[in-house]
DNA sequence: CGCAAACTTGATGTTGCTCAAGCTAGGTGG
DNA sequence: CCACCTAGCTTGAGCAACATCAAGTTTGCG
């Protein structure tokens, strides 16, 4: 969505300029960054890296969607984020990645190799600040998610999820849901069944429509936002 | 408690050298950073800043403990972290703070004023990288907490919390618990009653002792760690 | 057209929440 | 110095929300 907005504003933008890490940087800086980058593609379901793997660099999603997750020894899974175009991952170095990353759809991404990129952080003015802003944004998202996981009920969680997807896809009311229910469940701290039932309830309430199971229309955004923020969490 | 431990270990440490943001930086850089810093004190229960307030700078905890939290409109609260000496907060600028910060104990902290500090990020080599490392570390903690909130049961949550406190206090098996049960509950996504019951169960199991309600002894760290990581989550 | 994976729905079970008392410790005033 | 008072903690009983277990149903693909 990030990239999509950028490209409607400036239609014939070149790939490098579309890179989120380069946003706001000088052209000369951009080309130096591109010099340490390589393009990589993943098929749906493919793993980019696993928890504990050495960090080979920083990645930026160019197209498609991937998920980050952590596992407990007995297999319980918590998905910590869904990343779309323009989002950055792999910023947590030293001692390896602290989560696994896996493609949901076909994914194109750009890898900034560790060695060169680290040097550029010191050399390019503004790049470090840019990355700090990225990290701050992720932190903000993480805190919202903690509030959701710790204190919201099932309906509030699902409503929040739908609004997040809508936001990532450019604030449209037509949302594509590229991941299966099991991934949504592991993101929201629920079970597949509860997610499914909650979709059904929101549909019966007239807040959303479900043309197919991977496609949601938001029919009443105001009420959905009230649900998501807990204004009327228990009214099902 | 924390402060007490630190002061017994290194009684005459100088304040500047103790600053976490300066760790690993040249002396000259340290003094320039100190030039934009001011010391601030908070009484227990006092608010440092609230969600939405403009960010006046970056803070570092020198002594004491404070908590960060987010609220839902109906008053439900999620504590996103407890911060002890050496930890940094306020890195999320642009559009104000995304959480509130409140002192649990008496707190001494160091504020790095926004304007000057921002400039130093560009001017001092290594400072930006240092801050990125701080942000990465916070992100890691946030992801662990998401796993806890979304996928762990009450006993696993409480065990994880105790181990976190132990770690923050220098890996001793004697833990001080400076915050009331209600804060622990809001951190773990539980109620006061469940927290209390779980403490009692861990005590009956012989994993911990509770000389007073603010003081925990870890009696069997191995088993507590197994609990925390979900190896034997349901065995109560 | 048939198969498998994903989704939905229903019946039952469990965990942790709610509501309601006691209990305990620390602080205050007599 | 002691008795009281209050805030915080603990304990108990009943309940609600969500999980689990078990069928069906739909969908997309070969």
Q: Tell me the mean pLDDT in the region B146-164.
A: 97
Q: Which of A129, A189, A233 sits opposite B150 (nearest CB)?
A: A189
Distance B88 CA to C11 C1' (A): 51
Calpha distance B162→B228 (Å, rounded): 9
* CB-CB under 8 Å, A136 with B93: yes
Contact yes or no for B88/B58 (Cβ under 8 A): yes
Q: Tell me the mean pLDDT in the region B23-47.
A: 82
Q: Tell me the mean pLDDT in the region B10-37.
A: 63
Mean residue pLDDT of chain B comes to 86
Instruction: Please report the pLDDT score of residue B1 as a whole number.
Output: 39
Instruction: Please report the pLDDT score of residue A88 as a whole number.
Output: 92
In chain A, which residues have pLDDT < 50? 1-17
Its sign, for the CA torsion B186, B188, B191, B192, is negative
Highest mean pLDDT out of A29-33, A91-95, B17-21, B48-52: B48-52
Contact yes or no for A185/A194 (Cβ under 8 A): yes
* CB-CB under 8 Å, B140 with A98: yes
* CB-CB under 8 Å, B139 with A93: no
**Is B52 near chain A, with CB under 8 Å?**
no
Instruction: Please report the pLDDT score of residue B5 as a whole number.
Output: 36
CA proximity to B58, closest of B14, B22, B104: B22
Distances (CA, A) of A159 to A131, A145, A176, A207, B44: 30, 13, 15, 9, 37
**Is B130 near chain A, with CB under 8 Å?**
no
Instruction: Please report the pLDDT score of residue B116 as a whole number.
Output: 85
Is residue B10 predicted with pLDDT exceeding 90? Answer: no
Calpha distance A187→A69 (Å, rounded): 8
Instruction: Please report the pLDDT score of residue B3 as a whole number.
Output: 38
Q: Which protein residues, judged by their CB atom, are less than 7 Å from any atom of strand D?
A: A 153-155, 189-191, 193-194, 212-214, 234; B 180-182, 192-193, 195-197, 199-200, 210, 213-214
Q: Which of A74, A132, A146 sits opposite B80 (nearest CB)?
A: A146
Both tokens of A110, joined, read 């750009």
Contact yes or no for A164/A218 (Cβ under 8 A): no
Packing angle, helices B154-168 and B192-204, rounded to 10: 80
Instruction: Please report the pLDDT score of residue A234 as a whole number.
Output: 60
Weakest mean pLDDT among A181-195, B44-58, B182-196:
B44-58
Instruction: Please report the pLDDT score of residue B19 as a whole number.
Output: 63
A200: enclosing H helix or E strand: helix A192-204
Q: In what order do the strands lie in the sheet with B88-89?
A: B37-42, B107-113, B57-63, B88-89
Q: Tell me the mean pLDDT in the region B97-117.
A: 92
Distances (CA, A) of A118 to A90, A220, B204, B228: 13, 46, 51, 35
Q: Tell me the mean pLDDT in the region B101-122.
A: 90
Q: State pTM to two decimals.
A: 0.90
Nearest nucleotide (C1') to the CA of residue A196? C8
Nearest CA in chain B to A189: B150
Higher pLDDT, B57 or A69: A69
Contact yes or no for A69/A99 (Cβ under 8 A): yes
**Is B125 near chain A, with CB under 8 Å?**
yes
Label residue B54 by pLDDT band (50, 70, 90): very high
Both tokens of A185, joined, read 């469940």
Which residues of chain B lie closer than 8 angstroms to A143, CB-CB? 68, 70, 80, 98-99, 142
Distances (CA, A) of B62 to A153, B89, B117, B130, B131: 37, 12, 18, 18, 17
**Is A133 near chain B, with CB under 8 Å?**
yes
Q: Is the CB of B153 under 7 A from strand C?
A: yes
Instruction: Please report the pLDDT score of residue A7 as a whole number.
Output: 35
Pairing of strands A77-83, A66-71: antiparallel
Both tokens of A121, joined, read 């952080």
pLDDT digits (tens, 9 = 90+) for B159-184: 999 999 999 988 789 999 999 999 99
CA proximity to B34, closest of B49, B19, B45, B24: B19
Calpha distance B1→B216 (Å, rounded): 13
């Amino acid at each position: 969505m990030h990239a999509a907005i950028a490209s409607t504003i400036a239609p014939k933008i070149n790939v490098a300029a579309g890179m989120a890490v380069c946003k706001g940087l000088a052209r000369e800086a951009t080309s130096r960054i591109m010099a340490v980058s390589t393009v990589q593609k993943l098929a749906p379901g493919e793993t980019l890296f696993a928890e504990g793997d050495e960090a080979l660099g920083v990645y930026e999603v160019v197209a498609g969607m991937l998920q980050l997750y952590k596992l407990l020894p007995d297999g319980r899974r918590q998905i910590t984020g869904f990343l779309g175009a323009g989002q950055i991952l792999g910023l947590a170095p030293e001692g390896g990645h602290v989560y696994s990353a896996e493609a949901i759809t076909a994914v194109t991404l750009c890898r900034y190799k560790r060695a060169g990129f680290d040097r550029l952080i010191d050399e390019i003015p503004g790049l470090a600040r840019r990355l700090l802003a990225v990290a701050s944004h992720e932190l903000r998202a993480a805190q919202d998610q903690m509030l959701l996981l710790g204190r919201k009920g099932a309906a509030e969680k699902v409503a929040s999820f739908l609004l997040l997807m809508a936001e990532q896809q450019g604030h449209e009311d037509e949302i594509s849901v590229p991941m299966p229910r099991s991934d949504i469940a592991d993101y929201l701290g629920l079970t597949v069944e509860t997610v499914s039932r909650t979709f059904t309830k929101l549909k019966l309430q007239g807040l959303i429509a479900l043309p197919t199971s991977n496609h949601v229309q938001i029919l009443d955004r105001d009420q959905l936002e009230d649900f998501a923020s807990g204004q009327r969490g228990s009214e099902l």
